[in-house]
Amino acid sequence: MTNKIINLQLFALNVNVTTANSSGNHLTPEMKTYYDMQLLEDCKPYLVHGQFAQKRNIPKGNSKTINWRKFSSLGKATTALTEGVTPDGQNLDVTQIDATVAQYGGYVTVSDLLELTAVDPIINETSKLIANQAGVTLDTIVRNALVGGTVVQYATPCTSTNPEVASRSSLSSDYRVKVVDILRAVRTLKRKNVPTINGYYIAIVHPDVSFDLMRDPEFVEWHKYCSPDELYEGEIGKIGKCRFVESTEAKIWKDSTCPSTTVSEQTVYTPVYATLVLGADAYGDTEVAGGGLEMIVKQKGSAGTADPLDQRSTIGWKATKVAKILSQERMVRLESCASFGNTAEAN
């Protein structure tokens, strides 16, 4: 049998090595900045729902309340001016929308023995898992706020034998998103003069739903109209003036609000998907890069007498977050089923 020499230092490449202070072992400011930046970078692929929001920084040394200001449009000025006479000015109509931030987080405890004997670099892999959890959690918080919108449309039937529906429970597998449904949602925004986001409206769509859309000849793949550096996170293509970003975290319902059938005396619900079609400034979100998200690393020995044999270290994340709809009329929630969605689970 061949003897293999294993260099244990390979498994310590991402262990937090820092200077020892009199108060205990802590990360230096440089290492702290590095880990926070790495966490944010690893989170980005999961932060789909928040990227089109009006951002607000997390307040420091202030209250937990963040506010956005919504400005109402000015009416038409159709009265002709009188020569030499200054007309009355118009007042701005400003509505303040408040939201209270909350903290979220999670951590993993790593033993010294696991660090020494693991085949994979455990700290590095744990950091990736932590970033995944943080990204999905923060994205879900934003998504849950958005799916509470009041402007709702339902997919039209794929066959002429079925009528249009006006409720989620009336949908069936025959009600899948089509080009006409996207164009109808876009028309709803246009009729309200909702401003676009860089010239387009944005639809956040689940892969099960985009599967149905991408087979239509009117769907244009992203590489045919923009370069990689112009892509939004998760962008897959466009239809007309609507660009699509894909996320497995797009909302799925599978409960008593959904269509149902009875199989072997058991109620079976058909999953219903939400496709969010957004205009500019439809919602607000807290800015995670400004202090709302951080990685927290506690090294072996940092717990003092709580860890007398230096056996445990922890890697975790913490974030302050809130999202809020700012203008109901600037977004449409399009609900549908999907061709291969019957096995999907609620999220």
Share of the chain above pLDDT 70, in %: 85
DSSP characters over 153-221 = EEPPPSSTTSPP-SSGGG--TT-B--HHHHHHHHHHHHHTT---BTTBEEEEE-HHHHHHHHTSTT-EE
* Helix or strand (DSSP H, E) at 305: none
SS3 53: coil
Ranges of each domain in the chain: 22-70+95-146+285-323, 152-284+326-336
Write out pLDDT tens, residues 82-118: 888 888 888 777 788 888 889 999 998 888 766 665 5
SS3 310: coil
Q: Are the CB atoms for 261 and 195 separated by under 8 Å?
A: no
Residue 172's Cβ-count burial label (10 Å; 0-12, 13-18, 19+) is middle
User: E strands, 23-134, where?
Assistant: 24-25, 54-57, 65-71, 94-100, 102-111
Stronger pLDDT, 296 or 147, i.e. the higher one: 147
Share of the chain above pLDDT 90, in %: 50
Q: Name, in order, each residue with C-beta under 8 angstroms of 1's C-beta and a sequence gap of 6 or more.
A: none
CA 26 → CA 17, 124, 213, 299, distances in Å? 9, 18, 51, 7
pLDDT at residue 24, rounded to an integer: 38
pLDDT at residue 336, rounded to an integer: 97
Six token digits for residue 76: 């038409």
Q: State how far the Cα of 337 lies from the Cα of 271, in Å rounded to an integer.
A: 6
> Which DSSP category does 337 fall into?
B
Tell me if the pTM is above 0.75: yes
pLDDT at residue 28, rounded to an integer: 64
Half-sphere exposure of residue 8: CA atoms within 13 angstroms, side-chain side: 7
Residue 196, pLDDT > 50, answer yes
Q: How far apart are the first and last CA of the chain?
A: 50
Q: What are phi and psi of 189, to 5 degrees?
A: -70, -40
Write out pLDDT tens, residues 42-62: 888 888 999 999 988 877 766
User: E strands, the chain, where?
Assistant: 20-21, 24-25, 54-57, 65-71, 94-100, 102-111, 152-154, 201-205, 220-221, 235-239, 242-246, 252-253, 260-263, 266-269, 272-278, 283-287, 293-298, 312-321, 323-325, 331-336
Topology of domain 22-70+95-146+285-323 in CATH is: Major capsid protein gp5 fold (3.30.2400)
- Report domain 152-284+326-336's class: alpha beta
Q: Are the CB atoms for 304 and 24 separated by under 8 Å?
A: yes
Tell me if domain 22-70+95-146+285-323 and domain 152-284+326-336 are identical in fold.
no
Across all residues in the chain, what is the average pLDDT? 84
126 closest CA partner among 40, 15, 212: 15
Q: State how far the Cα of 274 lies from the Cα of 279, in Å rounded to an integer.
A: 16
Choose the most confident range, by mean pLDDT, from 96-110, 196-210, 293-307. 196-210
> Which DSSP category does 136 fall into?
H
